[in-house]
Amino acid sequence: MSDQTGQIPESAGEDPRAYERPSVTVDLALLSVREGALCVLLLRRDRAPFLGAWSLPGGFVRIEESLDEAAMRILRDKAQMSNVFMEQLFTFGAVDRDPRARVITVAYYALVEAGRFDEALKASVELSLFEILVPWADETGGAVAICSAEGETEPLAFDHAEILGMAVKRLRGKLDYTPVGFELLPERFTLRQLQEVHEAILDRRMNKPAFRRRMLDKGGLQATGERESGVTYRPAELYRFLEPNAGPGQNQEG
């Protein structure tokens, strides 16, 4: 235990009982693209601190849980979703990030096809989708803001504006060399839809011919021979993403 000065004596050595224990939480940044905008699923807090404010779905890690198990529990219980692939984003440990106590959070992020949020939004009136407003260009990084469907900006609880900003920075950094953008699309998609995803993530317009040429030259796309339906304009060709090391003749639907 610490002495009267709050210092840990050297004799404590590696004895974990001699040290104060911070709490650990998990927060989830669940991102999507809807109507040309990068969005995030948020939860209205029903308790202090930040009562009534919007936050990332999150919670404390139980003593018997791994971090991944806690993340999946929070995804199910608070975000009303399942079967979402998430990966660890970053660990946030500023001493004053939580006014209640010393709390370290491990943030996860996931890319979710927009239609999958619909059931979650129906299941809980405390969940809502917000557009992410990014005040910095490229991969500069920093806090972001959120905007409701009514056009109102809202404050985020805790340091969730910084967590969300880190998720956007990571996503932008991976967009050009990994297939992350395809996770925000249906199984069959048009090149227009793919461009809209890139534009939403990067927050800038892109040259249509140049974008399409670059995407096709990179490989990884296979024309399905089908065209989109239910449109009033000339239907565009549908493509699908080919997993790495899969030849054009291999079935990717299994």
Q: Give the tokens for residue 219.
A: 């490989």
Q: Is the pLDDT of residue 134 over 50?
A: yes
Query: At 41, phi and psi to the nearest 5?
Result: -90, 125
Cis amide leading into 49 (omega within 30): yes
The residue among 5 and 241 whose pLDDT is bigger is 241
Residues of the chain with CATH 1.10.10.10: 185-241
The residue among 17 and 59 whose pLDDT is bigger is 59
Lowest mean pLDDT among 48-57, 70-79, 141-150, 228-237: 228-237
- CATH number, domain 185-241: 1.10.10.10
Q: Rounded CA gap, 249 and 247, in Å?
A: 5
DSSP 6-44: SPPPGGGTT-GGGS---EEEEEEEEEEEETTEEEEEEEE
Pairing status of strand 103-111 against strand 127-133? unpaired
Q: Is the pLDDT of residue 4 over 70?
A: no
Q: Is the pLDDT of residue 246 over 50?
A: no
In 3-state terms, what secondary structure has residue 65? coil
Q: What is the pLDDT of residues 27-71, one digit of tens each?
A: 999 999 999 999 999 999 999 999 999 999 999 999 999 999 999
Q: What is the pLDDT of residues 177-218, one digit of tens each?
A: 888 888 899 899 999 999 999 999 999 999 999 999 999 998
Confidence of residue 253 (pLDDT cuts 50, 70, 90): very low
In 3-state terms, what secondary structure has residue 130? strand
Residues of the chain with CATH 3.90.79.10: 21-175
Q: What is the pLDDT of residues 91-109, one digit of tens each?
A: 999 999 999 999 999 999 9
Task: Indicate the burial class of 89 (C-beta count within 10 angstroms; 0-12, 13-18, 19 or more).
Answer: buried
Query: Which contiguous run of DSSP H or E holds residue 194?
Result: helix 191-202
In 3-state terms, what secondary structure has residue 243? coil
Q: Rounded CA gap, 103 and 82, in Å?
A: 26
Share of the chain above pLDDT 70, in %: 91
Q: Is the pLDDT of residue 252 over 80?
A: no
Tell me the fold of 21-175.
Answer: Nucleoside Triphosphate Pyrophosphohydrolase (3.90.79)
Q: What is the pLDDT of residues 76-93, one digit of tens each?
A: 999 999 999 999 999 999
Q: Return the residue matching tokens 């004799």.
A: 11
Confidence of residue 3 (pLDDT cuts 50, 70, 90): low
What mean pLDDT value characterizes the chain? Answer: 90
Residue pair 101/93 in contact (Cβ under 8 Å)? The answer is: no
